[in-house]
Amino acid sequence: MKFKKKDIFFETLENMADTVVQAADYFSEHVSNLQDVTLFTNEMKKYESKCDDYVHTIIMELNKTFITPIERDDIMELTTTLDDVLDGLEATASRFYMYQLTDPDEFIVQFAEILRQSAYEIQKAIHLLSQKKLLAIREYTIRLNDLENQGDEVLRMCIKHLFATVSDPIELIKRKEIYERLETTTDACEDVANMLESIIMRNS
């Protein structure tokens, strides 16, 4: 029995989503107990570079492919939003190294768990896209919106707590930037959901 070869665009998008999951898992697992911040940052950079390679693959394929499984702009936009999620995780990890922050607090751990859950929702949705089960994707886009709302709430709590308990202005600046970068990364996850919703509307 001959199996049909998977479309290069869907296959690469799946690979990107799988890499986002691997990166979010690693981030969540290690951020609560940062024993080696240099190793942590370097590992996150590897995931980010791997995702960049997939972006490059999609751009090259778009440049040489006449017929695509969904609109070219949709493929590119979805690729960009997926890449933004990993960029956000890696940029946050790099701040731990730059600021020599080795004691992440409960709020950072909460953000990490929200992002880990979001990554799995993205992965499920992208694999359904490859199978062209468009309407089934909605379950995961709704969940991603809920998780982004949780991220908003965590940001409100941690900024309030920060200004109430931290008097050192340098420490306050460091923590505030990391909190905001994490929240921005939850926004990037919601951007993936919004892009998937657009694809569903145009193709179902």
Under the banding of pLDDT at 50, 70 and 90, the label for residue 204 is: confident
CA distance 134 to 196: 9
Write the burial class of residue 18 (CB in 10 Å: 0-12 exposed, 13-18 middle, 19+ buried): middle
* Candidate CATH numbers 1.10.10.10, 3.10.20.30, 1.20.58.220, 1.10.3730.10; the one for domain 6-201: 1.20.58.220
Which pLDDT does position 37 carry in this prediction?
A: 93
CA distance 27 to 59: 28
Candidates 147, 179, 134, 149; CA nearest to 161 is 179
Under the banding of pLDDT at 50, 70 and 90, the label for residue 176 is: very high
Q: Each residue of 112-166: pLDDT tens digit?
A: 999 999 999 999 999 999 998 999 999 999 999 999 999 999 999 999 999 999 9
Q: Each residue of 32-84: pLDDT tens digit?
A: 888 899 999 999 999 999 999 999 999 999 999 889 999 999 999 999 999 99
82 φ/ψ sector (left φ>0, alpha ψ -120 to 50, else beta): alpha
Q: pTM of the prediction? A: 0.94
Which pLDDT does position 33 carry in this prediction?
A: 85
Domain map of the chain by residue range? 6-201
**Mean pLDDT for the stretch of residues 178-204:** 95
Under the banding of pLDDT at 50, 70 and 90, the label for residue 6 is: confident
Between the alpha carbon of residue 131 and those of residues 11, 32, 137, 167, the distances in Å are 11, 36, 11, 53
- Buried residues in 52-77 as b, exposed as e (16+ CB within 10 A): eebbebbeeeeeeeeebebeeebbbb
Encoding tokens for residue 146? 């809920």
Which pLDDT does position 4 carry in this prediction?
A: 52
What proportion of the chain, given as a percentage, has pLDDT over 90? 87
Between the alpha carbon of residue 99 and those of residues 52, 96, 155, the distances in Å are 25, 5, 20
Under the banding of pLDDT at 50, 70 and 90, the label for residue 5 is: low
**Mean pLDDT for the stretch of residues 10-38:** 95
Which pLDDT does position 32 carry in this prediction?
A: 87
